[in-house]
Amino acid sequence: IAGITQAPTSQILAAGRRMTLRCTQDMRHNAMYWYRQDLGLGLRLIHYSNTAGTTGKGEVPDGYSVSRANTDDFPLTLASAVPSQTSVYFCASSDASGSGTGELFFGEGSRLTVL
């Protein structure tokens, strides 16, 4: 089934540990995004990539890093997890890179708990 795959779907992590959330899409979309979603708040952009080889910072990038070695994969890394990074993380893609006006396709989310 075409779309976006995220892994893991759920993870409990000790504070200070390193964690990588994986995201793969098979729609050949140029643009990819990482959001976090917290109760009572709108989706907040962490990092984005308009095309393979480029990345940019979103609204809440601190404590996170990304890479975009190819079109399909966009992993998100927490170098040293802290409890405030407990959240649901969504990866998304769009075929309207740079314009911000394309429909976003979301993965199923990764629920991360940092203790």
Considering the complex, what minimum distance in angstroms separates the CB of residue 99 from other proteins?
A: 6
Indicate whether 2 belongs to the interface with other proteins (CB under 8 A).
no
How far does CA 57 lie from the centroid of its chain?
12
Indicate whether 7 belongs to the interface with other proteins (CB under 8 A).
no
| Both structure tokens of 57 | 């910072």
Using the minimum distance from each CB to other proteins, give the nearer residue, 30 or 106.
Answer: 106
Considering the complex, what minimum distance in angstroms separates the CB of residue 72 from other proteins?
A: 18
Using the minimum distance from each CB to other proteins, give the nearer residue, 38 or 79.
Answer: 38
Pairing verdict, β 10-13 and 110-114 = parallel
Picking from 43, 58, 22, the residue whose alpha carbon sits closest to that of residue 88 is 43
DSSP state of 80: S
Q: What does the per-residue mask of binding to other proteins show for 34-53, with x meaning CB under 8 A?
A: ------xxxxxx--------
Decide if 31 contacts 45 (C-beta within 8 A).
no
- # residues contacting other proteins (CB under 8 A): 18
Q: What stretch of H or E contains 31?
A: strand 31-37
- Residues 51 to 110 in contact with other proteins, rule: CB under 8 A: 90, 98-101, 103-109
How many whole angstroms separate alpha carbon 82 and alpha carbon 113? 9
Q: Residues in the site for other proteins, rule: CB under 8 A?
A: 40-45, 90, 98-101, 103-109
